[in-house]
Amino acid sequence: MRQENKEEMKARARNIALKIAYDGTAYHGFQRQSPPVVAVANVLEKRLSVIFGDTIELAAAGRTDAGVHAYGQVVNFFTDGRIPVENIVRAANSLLPDDIVVKAAAEAPRDFSTRHSARSKTYLYRIHQDSTPDPMKVRYAWHVREPLDTRAMREALREIEGTHDFSSFRAAGGKPMSPIRTMYEAELKEEGEDITIRIHGSGFLYHMVRNLVGTLANVGKGRLTVEDFRQILAAKDRQKASPTAPAQGLYLLEVCYDIPLFC
Amino acid sequence: MRQENKEEMKARARNIALKIAYDGTAYHGFQRQSPPVVAVANVLEKRLSVIFGDTIELAAAGRTDAGVHAYGQVVNFFTDGRIPVENIVRAANSLLPDDIVVKAAAEAPRDFSTRHSARSKTYLYRIHQDSTPDPMKVRYAWHVREPLDTRAMREALREIEGTHDFSSFRAAGGKPMSPIRTMYEAELKEEGEDITIRIHGSGFLYHMVRNLVGTLANVGKGRLTVEDFRQILAAKDRQKASPTAPAQGLYLLEVCYDIPLFC
């Protein structure tokens, strides 16, 4: 197949947006990798190319890491393929493996970019707190042995709502972009041994949710107070925060845009 | 290692009972298989032998099939191993793979047999009803595309409570034992797209829960009425019931005994 450049791809007739769910366990993150490393994007591009009859190169709202899951990743790509939009979900899912599912498809305006048009994102983080693990949750939650004080965690979590400099929770190797983000809502729900943290924000720094959760867990264990958490946030210094929580508890839940699309 | 016979094993000092949870996806059922086929029992016996320092041959309350899961399988075995009972859970889990977890351990009376002393069992069956699958549930629930009338399913489910001849829901190849069983409680819970059927009974015939659920699903889809379900139960004829529901939705939740043990 002849290599196309980005400009030629964008000259194509349609801009298709898809909402994707995946179990990230078997993949080296979302973002396309060079073989033999396999990312979710590699599998999607290969199967979508069959359906649309041309080379698919997709852009995604969030570049999830290895082991991270998604209920609502949003991707878009330009194509001349003629399959009617209402047939895309079924056609794609008939070709995709069990751990990647197209949940919805839409024709997007030509200037829509899943990456650049995103207005807000919501992440979930799941903790399973029990003295022994649950084999059905090993791939889908962070197993924490010690009891957690969820009241203290909830109080600390409230501190991140609003606009803050999140440098303390940014990965060391992150790109040099502004560390200011706005969190619209941050909540913690408890159901038996399952703790779910949901954070809806304007955007997130690299590893930000996992770094926040790692520090929150230490509040839950009583190793940090809510006041310590407040000071860590205010310090704007990654060295002050706790270790990153593991990938398998994290889910990209939803991405919202100015236009009504899957949200 | 010298082969021991059953009598020699039973002459050992301790009768240990364990409550086991496992993700059955990777195993050829619970019951010990000849290599290279691997069952949950093969893995457990091998790792427990390391901890107890003698050959372990375990008996189980329920012989779950390939792909079936457990939260509360109960096994017992005789041993001269000296590890204190309170250290068994941690020692076993440090050696076991992620998909098999020892949840609890107890010293049982010498005449206790997990298989023959069982007084009742509870099974769960999980259905995920949605137009597209959830990749995080593929291994853990039966994905049903069509909408399900859960009110009708609940009504049909009530029919199985009490003592009945369950021949209509017994696997064709089942052993020639009495098909009479008593169901103490059968309930259906709905939470969003997730339907959970819980059945507590005196005992279950081979494939009974999966055959019941396969037929209930056809009630939910409107292909059978509640009256049809009633007649299928009364017919005592496997030919009348619907196809067996898939293994991955089934869980052995709990086994109860006359003595207080994990229940």
Q: What is the CATH number of the domain that holds A128?
A: 3.30.70.660
Residue B43, SS3?
helix
Decide if pLDDT at B9 tops 80: no
Instruction: Say what percent of chain A tops pLDDT 90.
Output: 84
Domain that holds residue B158: 120-254
Structure confidence at residue A161 (pLDDT):
98
Mean pLDDT of A134-145: 97
For residue B40, being part of any structural domain is answered with yes
For residue A259, being part of any structural domain is answered with no
Segment A164-212, tens digit of pLDDT: 999 999 987 656 789 999 999 999 999 999 999 999 999 999 999 999 9
For residue A234, being part of any structural domain is answered with yes
Same domain, B94 and B220: no
For residue B130, being part of any structural domain is answered with yes
Structure confidence at residue B117 (pLDDT):
85
Q: Searching chain B, which residue's CA lies closest to the CA of residue A91?
A: B132
Mean pLDDT of A131-144: 97
> Which of A88, A101, A130 to mutate against chain B (most B CBs within 10 Å)?
A101
Same domain, B144 and B104: no
Task: Tell me if B164 sits within 8 A of B183, measured CB to CB.
Answer: yes
Residue B20, strand partner residues: B73, B102
> Which of A94, A98, A132 to mutate against chain B (most B CBs within 10 Å)?
A132
Angle in degrees, CA B40, A135, A244, rounded to 5: 140
DSSP track, A91-111 = HHHHHS-TTEEEEEEEEE-TT
Structure confidence at residue A62 (pLDDT):
86
For residue B27, being part of any structural domain is answered with yes
Task: Please state whether beta strands A142-144 and A118-129 pair in parallel, antiparallel, or not at all (unpaired).
Answer: parallel
- Region of A131 please: left (phi>0), alpha (psi -120 to 50) or beta: alpha
Task: Tell me if A123 sits within 8 A of A253, measured CB to CB.
Answer: yes
A161 touches chain B (CB under 8 A): no
Using alpha carbons, select from A108, A112, A117, A6 the residue that is nearest to residue A57: A6
Same domain, A79 and A189: no
Same domain, B105 and B138: no
- What is the number of structural domains in chain B? 2
Same domain, B78 and B157: no
Same domain, B104 and B134: no
Using alpha carbons, select from A129, A142, A108, A147 the residue that is nearest to residue A194: A129
Mean pLDDT of A102-121: 92
Domain harbouring B85, CATH code = 3.30.70.580
Instruction: Say what percent of chain B tops pLDDT 70.
Output: 97
Catalytic residue chosen out of the listed positions A54, A65, A98, A228: A65
For residue A1, being part of any structural domain is answered with no
| Residue where a domain stops, chosen among B117, B139, B162 | B117
Task: Tell me if A12 sits within 8 A of A4, measured CB to CB.
Answer: no
| Residue where a domain stops, chosen among B117, B139, B158 | B117
Same domain, A35 and A13: yes
Same domain, A56 and A73: yes
A38 touches chain B (CB under 8 A): no
B144 touches chain A (CB under 8 A): no
Between A197 and A259, name the one with better pLDDT: A197
Structure confidence at residue B11 (pLDDT):
78
For residue A197, being part of any structural domain is answered with yes
Residue A26, strand partner residues: none
Q: Compute the nearest-CA separation of A79 from chain B (Å).
A: 24
* pTM score, whole prediction: 0.92
In the predicted model, what is the mean pLDDT of chain B? Answer: 93
- Contacts of B33-42 with C-beta under 8 Å, sequence gap 24+, read B40/B64, B40/B73, B40/B100, B41/B75
Decide if pLDDT at A162 tops 90: yes
- Whether A103 and B69 lie within 8 Å, measured CB to CB: no
Same domain, A153 and A233: yes
Decide if pLDDT at B65 tops 60: yes
Mean pLDDT of A209-217: 97
Segment B108-140, tens digit of pLDDT: 999 999 988 899 999 999 999 999 999 999 999
Decide if pLDDT at B262 tops 70: yes
Same domain, B124 and B238: yes
Same domain, B95 and B208: no
Q: Which two tokens stand for residue B256?
A: 């109860």
Structure confidence at residue A174 (pLDDT):
59
How does residue A4 score in pLDDT terms, banded at 50, 70 and 90?
A: low
Residue with tokens 């349609």: A14
Q: Searching chain B, which residue's CA lies closest to the CA of residue A22?
A: B135
Q: Which of A93, A134, A140 sits opposite B21 (nearest CB)?
A: A134
Same domain, B241 and B135: yes
| Residue where a domain stops, chosen among B52, B83, B117 | B117
For residue A208, being part of any structural domain is answered with yes
Among the ranges given (A38-42, A95-99, A258-262, B182-186), the one the predictor scored with the smallest mean pLDDT: A258-262
Cα Dmax for chain B: 59
